[in-house]
Every structure is written in C-alpha cells, then in structure tokens.
Chains A and B, each alone.
Chain A
Amino acid sequence: MATNGYVAHAPGYVDNEGPKIVSERFGYADSFTLARFEATGGYEGLRAALARRPADVHDEVRSATVLGRGGAGFPAGVKWGFLPPGKFPYYLVVNGDESEPGTYKDRLLMERDPHQLIEGCLITCYALGLTQCFLYVRGEMALAQERIATALNEAYDAGYVGRNILDTDFSVDIVLTWGAGAYIVGEETALIESLEGNRGMPRLKPPYFPAAIGLYGQPTIVNNVETLANLGWLLVNGAEQYKSYGSEASPGTRLFAVSGHVRRPGVYEVEHGVTTFRELIYGDNFCQGIREGHELKMFIPGGGSAPWFFEEHLDLPLEAGPVGAAGSMLGSGAIVVMDDTTDAVKATLRVVRFFARESCGKCTPCREGTTWEERILQRILDGEGRHSDIDMLLDIGDNISPGPYPVAANPHEGLEAVPFPPKQTTICPLGPSSVAPIVSTIRRFRHEYEAKITRRDSIPVRAQGVFVTECSSD
C-alpha cells in the first residue's frame, strides 16, 4: 500500500481532537520530508534558538519544565544543568531504543517526523555546547533508521546540520547509529556502553547521571526521542505557551500508547497531567472503552516495568505525582488494558519472562531471581505449583527489591498503597521491575494463584509421578 509513492505510514496514531505539539505533522503522507517540514514551520525553532544566547535557550527549556519522556520523568532543563563546567568536550546521545513492553511512540516520531527530532538535537547541542551527537535507534526499527538517514542527508545538504549551521559559528555533526536487539540497552549507561562497542550492560552508580561521566568518560547528555521532539515547538512558541497545556507539574502534551482490550487502541497526543485514565480509556475522543461485552480487570499505567492499576484508579490524572503516590509510575507512556478474560497469572508470567530474558546478567539477584520467578510462575500456570510458591515469589522479589514494594491499595482487603519507587539491590531498575506484576497480582488476585495451586493438590499423588508406598503403622 503506497500513498503518493511513499510507503504508507505505520498505523497506530489516532488524530484526535486536542492541542498538538509533537504530532502536528503526523497526518501528512509526506510528513517525513524536508519539504513538508519547512512548509510547516520546521527549523524555525532552530533559527529562534540561534538568534538567542545559548544560556537563554537553556533557560527557556528549564522554565518550561520539559519532563523526560524516556521513563524517569526527570526535567530536561535541570538535567542539562548537571554538566560540569569547562570539562569539554560534551556529547549528546539520543535514546531511540524504545523497547519497554507496550511502548509505541518514539518509533512513530522517528518514522513520521525525523526532522523534528533532528531540530531538537540541534537546539540541545547549541544550548549546552555539545559538539557531537549520536542518534541511537533500536536495531529492529529498519524504517525509522531509513527515515532518519534520509532526513539527515537532506539536512546536511540544506545546511541545517554539520559545519557552520545556517552560516553561523555553530557546528555539530549528528551521527546515526543503532543497536542490535537488547532491551537493557535502553538504560542510559548501557546505551553508552553499547555505543562504545561493548556489551550493553549498565554501569555502576554513582555517578547517577552521564552528565558527569558519560560517553568515553566525557560529560554526556542522554535524552529520549520524544523529549527532544518538543524543543522546536518550544523555541518557536515559548515556555508560557507550552505551560498553557497540561498541569503545573506536568506541562505540555505527551504521547500515550494504549493497547490491549480497548475498542480503539492507538497512540494519542494528550494534555499531560490533566487528562485522566478514565478519559483516555473510555472517552469518545480516545479509546472508546473496553471491547464489546467485557469489563476492565486491570491495566498497566506506564509500560511493562510499572505496577498494575485497577478500576478505582481510573480517575487519577496522567501525572507522575498522583500515580506515584498510588503505587505505580507513568513510565514510558504505555497503557496496557486487560479485560475480564485475562488470566492474571498468565499475564504476570508473560511480563516476568520478558525481564528474565532481557536481564543483562551483571547482578546476581536480577539474573537468578528473574529466572526463578519465571520458572515458578510457569509451574503454577501448568498446574504444578506448590503452596509455598506464592511466598517464595514474594521472597525472591524481596531479594531483588528489599522492603515493601510499590503496589496499589487493595480496598477490598483494607490494604494501603505503597508509593513508588522501589528500592534495589541491583545496579539498574530492570531486576526490580520484574517484581511489579508479581506483587500487583498476588495482592489483588491471590485467589487465582491459589485456585491453580489447589488444582494440583486435588490430583492424586500417584498421578503426579511420585512413587508412594503404603506404610504400616507398626
């Protein structure tokens, strides 16, 4: 299927009503070309930035409170301020490794509007004095790589990237680079390792931010694709306009991918911090409710790493604070909706297996723990579970993430929420993330676990393959 001689856009994006910052151009069949970008205000943000002092550009981003969209939600302007003065050179690394289960927005941004991302990179490099940029795209995303390569070639030819950009003293190269299939490389220090030609294993912290020590040991800014995609618009329209959307703590808009058992799954640009889960899942303008004849059972509010939510969380706003206090996180803007047909144990196993497979193996609690979690869940699901398995799962979780693990309240049993984030005995949060679905579902659907385990007890011991001899009492 081709439109105007182009490969058709990947479906998924839904052009709903509401303010648009990053998806403004998504509707055009040629949205990824330089011609379309220039015809719709593209590179005006770069021009606006170059007309100001670099420090003023940084101030604009700081005062807009652009929250990082990669998962942690840290404000970009503040992170940028962590660069140690004078320790040049500085690098920019763009995190386009999107692979958190349920997350689908960076790929859209890279495929549909690569120039918008390039403009964001240029603005960042200008503001901070970063002198080389590496744009790291997930290995499996061939079309995104193709679109970015094409866009970079156009942008170099037109003088937007490279030496003396737009005939000023500002010069920076943007190098497209890519991964090869490893979720953990999305963690920023693992990404840097990968970019240095190593196995993608996270680095020990501190330093907590690569801004202190990053690529080749130099100060490095790592930002997510969506974070940077906001900057062109911001420089044209200003922080005040940006903050007129969304809430005070979470200004602007954000892309949310809603998948699973909803009538109209899709990627939606929504006002950050004010829209609620209920509006997004049930609203006519959005997903239009659970599929025919079914009801909501549970949902993941922020990607595979987030603890799970239920019916009573629907009226929470899409904002880090309230979601964190309720025991989860907004993470990477990925909402996975599960209806009443979903087997809680099976869904838990599926997410846990992901973490077991993707553990980089550097820390023992994660490497061993995630494997055991997977095996135990599998045997429960296969009807081979033991009564001690539920406690064992929680115990293994406690080895990876000690203390009370973040979890939603269970009003049916009078249990309070444990706020985000979890503690960790590991180098990075991947290991602890594996505990999220386990704790979430055991707390809420313990009876489903028990039902599967009891089923085994009802099978005669002989049929379980154990050889039993009758004992006499004397």
Chain B
Amino acid sequence: MSFFTSANLDIAREIVSRYPVPRSALIPLLHLAQEQHGWVTDDAMREIADLCGITPAEVKGTGSFYEMFKFGPVGSYLINVCTNISCMLLGGEELLDHAQQRLGVKTGGTTDDGMFTLEDVECVAACTEAPCLQVNYRYRLRVTNNDFDEMIDDIRAGRVDDLPQHGTLARIRQRIPTDKLAGVVHPDDAREAPVWLARNAAEDSVVG
C-alpha cells in the first residue's frame, strides 16, 4: 500500500524533516496528496498519518477543519467566486449567479463532465479588483459575465496554460541545501542562548 509516488514520498519526508515535531507537516502533506490526486483519499490519509506519527482519524479530524481539502472527487478546475463585501458591492453575487447558470450547477456542484466545480469563497485579498475569482488558486480579476464565459470556453478548448491541476499550489518548492541548514530546533532540547547573543555582552558594537 503506497499512495505517494516515490518522488512525492521523498518530498514528503523532506517536508517532515523541516519541523521540530512531525505533526506540523500535516497541512503541507495534505496539500501534497491533493496535488498528486486532485483530492485526499483514505489511502493518502493513512500514509500521512504514518509520516506524521498520528492516527488516520487525527488526520481527517484536523484536515476537515480546512476548506481547501476535498475528501471526495472534485472537478479538474475548481472555480471560487468571491462574494464578500468588496466583491458584493461590485457584482460578485451576480457573477456567481451567472456562473451557476453557465455551468448548470449550484454552488458546491460539479459539472457532469467532471471539468468544473463551482464554489463561493470568502475574501481572497484582491478587493481592489472586484469582482474576482480564483481557478485552481490562480486569480481572474474584474470579471464580467462575458469574461467568465470566455474563460470557460478557453479552458474547455485547452487554450489556458497558467492553470495546473487542482491541488497544485506553488510550482516551485523550497529546498534547503544540507550544507546551509542551520538546524531544526526541537522545543525540548535544553538550550543555551544562541551564540550570537553573546555579542550583547560586548562593550561596543561588533562588526560582523
């Protein structure tokens, strides 16, 4: 039983190794699972539980608190329309209505062909560019009904290249070269003051 591909398993282990306590890697690993599969499966949760040293129930119990994690299939493209105050003032709710009609699904629904899932979303920090939406967490700003229709057509026709599969967040990962690693700091390590604080005892400023 292995959910993660071997490449992703290496990434998962590296992520875990950056935190003093493995459980801290829980959210990043759930994202990694979602990136690989589009949503979080039971197998994924079992494997994440092993990696974090907790039970699968704890993984689900924590993961289900967070709206971004999907525990069942969703469309290849997740469309989140903002209807919070700044967007509402400039037509966010009307845009969501239009999106429902155009896609033929209600908020929360997925189109029959499995292409699109439509959701409304709370403020995504683009308030000056209202109304806005995100597709797989990439922004579309000052969206008119026409823009929306064109976007759907373009995605269906494969004319859009800035949208990775649902679940993919940053396409560039942090890597810490081993020779540059300062070291994970465990809370229980009885620790002296970090060495550089000794400079405070110096009479004058020290030049580094």
Q: Is the CB of A89 within 8 A of B189?
A: yes
Tell yes or no: B114 within 8 A of A by CB.
Answer: no
* Residues A173 and B197 in contact, CB atoms below 8 Å apart: no
- Tell me whether A89 and B86 are in contact (CB under 8 A): no
Shortest CB-to-CB span from B35 to chain A, Å, is 11
* Shortest distance from the beta carbon of B47 to any chain A beta carbon, whole Å: 15
Residues of A242-287 at the interface with B, using a CB-CB cut-off of 8 Å, are 257-261, 265-267
Contact in complex: B194, A88 (CB < 8 Å):
yes
* A88 nearest CB neighbor, chain B only: B191
Kindly list chain A residues whose C-beta atoms are within 8 Å of the C-beta of B157: none
Q: Which of A197, A334, A347 contacts B88 (CB 8 A)?
A: A347
Bound: A148/B172 CA distance, A: 9
- Given A182-B66, A196-B23, A350-B85, CB of A47 within 8 Å of CB of B126: no
Q: Is the CB of B67 within 8 A of A181?
A: yes
User: CB < 8 Å: which of A99, A149, A169 contacts B174?
Assistant: A149
Measured between beta carbons, the chain A residues less than 8 angstroms from B172 are 146, 149-150, 153
Q: For residue B66, which residues in chain A have a CB less than 8 angstroms away from its CB?
A: 139, 179-182, 200
Contacts of A12 in B (CB 8 A): 126, 128-129
Cβ distance A213 to chain B, nearest Cβ, rounded Å: 11
* Smallest CB separation, A92 vs chain B (Å): 11
Tell me which residues across on chain B come within 8 A of A197, comparing CB atoms: 21, 23-27, 52, 54, 62
**A12-46 contacts to B (CB < 8 Å):** 12
Residues of B within 8 A of A47 (CB): 208
* Chain A nearest Cβ from B190, distance in angstroms: 9
Say yes or no: A175 contacts B19, CB within 8 Å: yes
- B25, B62, B174 — which one has the most chain A CB atoms within 10 A of its CB? B174
Is A390 at the interface (CB under 8 A from chain B)? no
Contact B181 A173 (CB under 8 A): yes
Looking across the interface, which residue of chain B has its beta carbon closest to that of A167?
B208
**In the complex, what residue of chain B is closest to A103 when comparing beta carbons?**
B125
- In the bound assembly, the distance between CA atoms of A336 and B85 in angstroms comes to 8
B159 proximal to A (CB < 8 A): no
Query: Distance (Å) between the CB of B162 and the closest chain A CB?
Result: 8
| Interchain CB contact (< 8 A) of A180 among B68, B126, B185 | B68
Binds A, one of B4-12, B94-102, B147-155, B198-206: B198-206
Question: For this complex, into which size category does the number of interface residues on chain A fall?
Answer: 35 or more
Residues of B close to A178: CB separation below 8 A: 27-28, 31, 169
Q: Which of A53, A131, A139, A156 contacts B180 (CB 8 A)?
A: A156
**Contact bitstring A129-147, B, C-beta under 8 A = 1, else 0:** 1011000001111110110
CB nearest to B127 among chain A residues: A259
> Which A residues are in CB contact (< 8 Å) with B175?
153, 156
Chain B residues with Cβ below 8 Å from A175 are: 18-19, 174
Identify the stretch in A73-81, A351-359, A394-402, A466-474 within 8 Å (CB) of chain B at 4 or more residues. Answer: A351-359
Give every chain B residue within 8 A of A141 (Cβ-Cβ). 125, 137
- A238 contacts partner chain B, Cβ-Cβ < 8 Å: no
- Measured between beta carbons, the chain B residues less than 8 angstroms from A265 are 127-130
Tell me the bound Cα distance from A437 to B155 in angstroms. 39
| Inter-chain contact B171/A131, CB cutoff 8 Å | no
Do A196 and B21 have beta carbons less than 8 Å apart? yes
Can you sample 23 A-B contacts with CB below 8 Å? A54-B200, A89-B189, A106-B125, A129-B197, A131-B185, A139-B27, A140-B80, A142-B169, A143-B170, A145-B169, A150-B172, A171-B182, A173-B184, A180-B30, A180-B31, A197-B21, A197-B25, A198-B23, A200-B65, A216-B21, A265-B130, A338-B89, A360-B65
A-B complex: 9 closest residue pairs judged by Cβ atoms? A180-B66, A197-B23, A181-B67, A216-B187, A50-B208, A162-B180, A259-B127, A145-B170, A197-B26
Known contacts A12-B128, A182-B65; 20 additional CB pairs below 8 A are A10-B139, A52-B206, A53-B205, A54-B196, A55-B200, A89-B189, A103-B125, A139-B27, A141-B137, A142-B137, A150-B172, A161-B180, A163-B180, A196-B21, A197-B23, A199-B65, A304-B123, A342-B89, A347-B85, A350-B85
